[in-house]
Every structure is written in structure tokens, then in C-alpha cells.
Structure 1
């Protein structure tokens, strides 16, 4: 048994073990593959996490890894299960570093001011080609039941874009940065849905950096909003409020015909609800609802998809957070009918609404409501393989308390536990 096998036997993902040790996930990956040595100050903590003595840890460290990683350029293993589901491996890091390096040296191709009409035409063509492909990938992602199936194509698109940036002039790179800010947000969405929070945050930060370089305020604000969502889901609400405040300021400089600032407000409402601030939450929801007054298209069906269709779901979920159960139930029941008619992400969206209705049952100590809605949400999580819905069910399970003595709730508890284990191992 090697380090990776020992970690998996104890139920840790690379992300989870990294959190325990206070290091980055990629550091754990490099230790497991023998690419770097474990720093002496971290060895006792690492041994304790793996439930080993230092001598036993040393024995595992000196033993070669049983499943070495394939080279970065390989496509077969990366796409068919060689990576830890909760840690994408070194290839994502390589792509991100390549993008940053390409951005840094992009100006070496042509001196400033020497672009001509031919170069500008090539620049526009390359950027347009990437944006068209990005738009297609967002559509596939939106329609896919199993979001992870889109990941290999997105990873390839990122790799090609990073390589293309490395051979462009300053002016061309700036145009391509818009495409990068777009596709890095999709990569972050996929990582987030797969419970890889470190990868998601890194992708969102790169998306924000690229969007800023491109001078695209709406794209930049959306990247920051997605990054804040990582904090929201890890209950770091104060940190999320700070990022969202910056996103709000940037969105004001963007296109007022787009729904960016309204989406920022919707996520602000969730952060304020997490802080227990009902008044601030209501104000943010009211700002979000003004999206219905926008004329024409309010979204581009890619990195910005907020059109107000989810406002009932959002408001209901916020009332659950704040303990306003009657308001929450009435709102969520209405939202359930709307989601049933929605296309694309209806599995994921419906699963979250059902989990919130089950959460109301938990707060009311009503096992019938918990089981009725919880089992439906569980079924949708199984159908969609959505890590997002699984997380909501895990949070629900953590609050069962005395309800777990009810036979039906105990059965649901066991099924959620089994689904969570399958999701970790998948």
C-alpha cells in the first residue's frame, strides 16, 4: 500500500487531506507520486492524519507509487479515471501555469503599434473561434445530466488556449483574454460541482485576471462572484461579502443591459442570510429582482445565465437559512412547479429545491416531510451525479439529530451516506 491507497482507505480525498494538513491539494499529489519530499515539520501531522507512526510513514514514502501519473500530454488516462475524483492531478496546475506564463510573455511577438489589418483580422478570427467553442461548451454543460462528462473537452480547450496565447502579440493576447476569462469560469464550475474547491477557486481567480486584462467588466465581475460562491458554500460569509462588494463595484462599470449586477445581488443575499442579516438579505433580493425590468436579452447563455427565473428558489432558500419556515415553504413549493418546466439544469435545480423543503422538515421535526422530499432529492442526485446536490443532502443529514431514531429517516440517512461514499470514490 502506498500513500494514495492509505489516504483512500481512510476515506480522504486529496482535497480533504490537504485541508486537514493546511497545504494545497497539489502538494499532497506530489507527495503521493514521489515528486517532492514531505517537509519535516509536516511529517508528524501527516502521519497522524494517516493513522501511522513515523516509521510506518517513512516505509510508505520510500515505497514507489503503485499507479504513477501519466505524462501531462497523455490523453487516455486523464479522461478515463486515473485521476482522483476530488483532486484533478498536476495537469490542471500545468495548464494554469502555462496560461500565466503565456500572458506574461505575450508582448514578445510584435512591438507595440506594429499590428496591421492582417494581424488584426487573425486576432479577431482566433478570438471568435474560441468564443464560439466556449459558447458550445457552456450549452453542453447546461444540458448534461452528468456535468463531469464535459470536463475532458474543457480541459483540452484550456490547454489549446494557453498554447495559443504563448504565440500572440500583446494586442492579440488582450483579445484572447476575453475567451480565457470565459472558459476558466466553466472550468471552475466543473471543479466546484466535483467538490474540488481549491481547483475551482484557482480557475475563478485566473478568470478574473484574464477578464481584467481584456477590459471586460461584466466577465470580471462574474468571475469574482463565482469565487465568492466558494466562500459561501464553505460558510466563510464575511470573506464572501468582501469579494461580492468588489464584484458589485466592477459590475456598475459594465453593460447595464446585462444582468450581471442583479446576479451579484442574488449571491450577496445568500451571504447576508448566512450572517443572519435579514434586512440586508431582503435588500439584496429586491435588487436582484429588478432583473425583470431589463429589456431584451439579459444573459449570454454562457458565463452569465441569470435571468430571474431562479428568484423564487433563491428567496425560498434564503428564508430557510434565516429560519422563516412558513415563508420558505410557500415560496419553495411555488418554485418547484417552475423548475419542473425548466430546461437544462432542472435535475440539479429541482434536487436543491427538494433538499431545502426537506430541510424545513428537519427544522420542524417532521420526519414525514424529511423523508418525502429527501428521498426525491436523493433520486435526482443519483440520476445527475451532481456533487452540488450531494453536498446539500450531506448538510441535511448532518442536521438530522434525534430524527435519526425514526426508521424512515435512518434509512434515508444510510442512503445519503452510501451515495456520499460512492461520490467520493467515483
Structure 2
């Protein structure tokens, strides 16, 4: 089915579709004929008009243009050159800043009656946000999701600019979307951009008095600090996140997620006792119900406990404990449906690091080579960062040509 088929099936003429989207009728005609594709900012609203999700919309667009289905086994690459990438990044940050400013504007008391109507609008944004989180988690290349997120932010900007006030429900929708925007930046190793997005997320969530959403924004901000090796600063952020989460919904896993990331920060500081205490607190997530997370801005469900414990013990040099936990994690990932290349890659890098510490060349090469393959396949900045850290571990093993070649491959991957 093409875009034209779907449009006509729902009774939309070209004129009516053009009016709904704010474009010229000839633009819709070019989309029908596959001569051009809808720009990212139009896609969320178009998907809503056609009663499809964004992945289905993409399939309709490809069918209209005659483009082949992407090869699921091939690695994804960004279609932007260096100059255009920087321009898109600046545009992304501009949209973030504008939405953040609009959300922060104080509401007039006289406009409080508009709150009920705004709740209905916000529900639509929250549904789209939920869908975008799902697309982000399933995407082979996380960066490919950014145009659609930018389009959603642009649409939210326009809504906020047209309204006389910013009700709490829309603030919560913005806080949700800012966290996803931060995730996109973080996965690209854009720490400053990620921190800016998470700060806006925390601000919007605070305005909405959405305590769990607010705490999760702070947790994500703490990830930026741990990735930069600023473990003391991360502990400070997580202490605030813990206090905020205490005011939230205790049936959710927010507090356990805070504890999990606090374990990473304490491992970075070399504090085994506090790290293990935090890990034990995080494991209390298994006693919560099936609805302890929402699969979007809160995804901590306990499925990564073995990975987390193994990674923390590896940080602390407790190699036997680390390897046992990581082996369990690999088994769990192999049994899981739709296993994450990003997660498997991270576990393999940790196992490779253990091999390096033991000077077990075969374990190092086997695990790191597979992690390299997954990093190329997923275009994950997270796995690349872990591989970069691995280079410091393998630097002392200079008497093996295969290890030297591995280091060169990591360096080449880091530079792309």
C-alpha cells in the first residue's frame, strides 16, 4: 500500500490532507507520486491523520517512492556529511531551547480553565512519545530516530507558542520528550547536548510536579557524569534524584534505578561496600509488580541486574565475581526475544576487559571481536565508548600481532 492508497482509503483528498498539514496541494501530489518524501516535521501529524504508527508510515513512504526495504543485516550509516551534521545538531539544540523556554513561561491564573482542554492535547503527545521510545529501542541506528524526535519537538513548540499558558500536563509531555532527545545525544557521545536536554527535562518535570519523571531526568544526567569519569558529581546528582523519587510513586522502579546508577558511581570511586549496598537496593525491583516501569522514560525492570553487577565488579577488579555475573547476563540475553545488540556488546567488552586483566589473549580477542561487530552493526556510541576504554587495558599486551590489530580496529571505529 502507498501513501496515496492510505490517504484515499481514509477519505482524504489532496486538498484536505494539505490543509491539515499546512502544506500546498502540489506537495501532497509529489508525495503521492514518490517524487519527494515528507519532511520529518510533518511525519508525526501525518501518522496521526492516517491512523498509523511512524514505522508503518515509513513503509508507506518507501512503497510510494519505490525504495527497497532496508537490509536488516547491514550496518546503518548516517546520511549526513560533517557540515550538514553540525547544522542538524544546531537545529536540534535550537528546538530544545525554544521548547524549554516556552515550558518555563509562567501561566496566567486566568488561563487555568484551559487546563482540561490541554490535558487532552497532552495525552496525544504522550502517546506519540511512548511510540517514539519504542522506535528508539528497536532502531538499529539510534541516530536515525532523531529527525522524527525533532519533528515532534517542533510540533510541541508550535502548540505551546499558540497557547496562552503551559499547563502541567504539557510540561510532563515535554519532560518526557526532552529525556528521549537527551538519549539520542548521549548515544552520539554529545555529552554537552545530552546534559542540556536532561536539564530541560528536569525543569519541565518539576513544573509538572511529576516526581518520578523528574528523578529519571536527574538519573540520566548522572550518566553523563559517570561517562566523563566525574563519579563524585554523579553521586551528588543521584542523592538529589533519590530525594525526588521518595516523593513519587513507590510502585514504580524509579528508586531502584537510582540505586543501580549509584552503584556505578561508587564503583568508579573504588568503594566496594557502598557499591554492593546500592546493588542490593537495586535488586528490590524484583519484588515490584509487572507495571513497575513504562518502557519509555522509565525502563528499569530488573532484566539487567546480572549485567550491572558484572560490570560493577569488573570496575572494582573483582574478576571472578564479575565473570560469573556476566556469563549469566549473556545467557539471559541469548534467551531474550529481540535481544539488544547494544547490551550484548557492552557485556562482551566487559568480558574482554577481564581477559586483558588476566592476560588471557584468547578471551580478550574472542569477546572484543564480537563486540566490534555489534558496534558496527548497531552504530552505538555507547559500545564504542566501552571499546575505547578497553584500549587502555590492552595497551600493555604488545607481544601479540592479533591484539595490535584489534587496537587498530577499535581506533578506526572510534574515528568514524
Out of 141, 145, 170, the residue aligned to residue 146 of structure 1 is 141
Alignment of 1:4-403 (within 5 A): 80-82=79-81, 85=85, 88-105=88-105, 107=107, 111-116=108-113, 119-170=114-165, 172-344=166-338, 346-403=340-397
For structure 2, the residue ranges without an aligned partner over 5 or more in a row are 1-38, 43-77
- Alpha-carbon distance, 1:393 to partner: 0.6
Count of residue correspondences: 342
Q: If the length of structure 1 is used for normalisation, what is the TM-score?
A: 0.77
Say whether the 8 Å CA contact 2:256–2:285 is kept in structure 1. yes
In the alignment, the residues of structure 2 paired with residue 74 and residue 341 of structure 1 have an alpha-carbon distance, to the nearest angstrom, of 36
In the alignment, the residues of structure 2 paired with residue 416 and residue 180 of structure 1 have an alpha-carbon distance, to the nearest angstrom, of 37
Q: CA offsets, 1:159-184, max 9 Å, x none?
A: 211221122243x4321010010011
Say whether the 8 Å CA contact 2:40–2:148 is kept in structure 1. no
Q: If the length of structure 2 is used for normalisation, what is the TM-score?
A: 0.78
In the alignment, the residues of structure 2 paired with residue 74 and residue 302 of structure 1 have an alpha-carbon distance, to the nearest angstrom, of 21
Q: CA offsets, 1:372-395, max 9 Å, x none?
A: 100010011111111110111111
Q: CA offsets, 1:167-222, max 9 Å, x none?
A: 2243x432101001001100100110011111100000000000000110000000
SS at match of 2:167: helix
- Residues 263, 322 of structure 1: alpha-carbon distance in 2 compared, 3 angstrom cutoff: same
For structure 1, the residue ranges without an aligned partner over 5 or more in a row are 1-72
- Alpha-carbon distance, 1:100 to partner: 3.1
In the alignment, the residues of structure 1 paired with residue 366 and residue 40 of structure 2 have an alpha-carbon distance, to the nearest angstrom, of 46
SS at match of 1:403: coil
- Alpha-carbon distance, 1:104 to partner: 4.2
- Alpha-carbon distance, 1:96 to partner: 2.4
* Pairwise CA RMSD: 2.0
In the alignment, the residues of structure 2 paired with residue 149 and residue 418 of structure 1 have an alpha-carbon distance, to the nearest angstrom, of 22
In the alignment, the residues of structure 2 paired with residue 105 and residue 251 of structure 1 have an alpha-carbon distance, to the nearest angstrom, of 25
SS at match of 1:402: coil
In the alignment, the residues of structure 1 paired with residue 362 and residue 86 of structure 2 have an alpha-carbon distance, to the nearest angstrom, of 34
User: Would you identify which runs of 4 or more consecutive aligned residues in structure 1 move more than 6 Å?
Assistant: 73-76
- Alpha-carbon distance, 1:229 to partner: 0.3
- Residues 284, 113 of structure 1: alpha-carbon distance in 2 compared, 3 angstrom cutoff: same
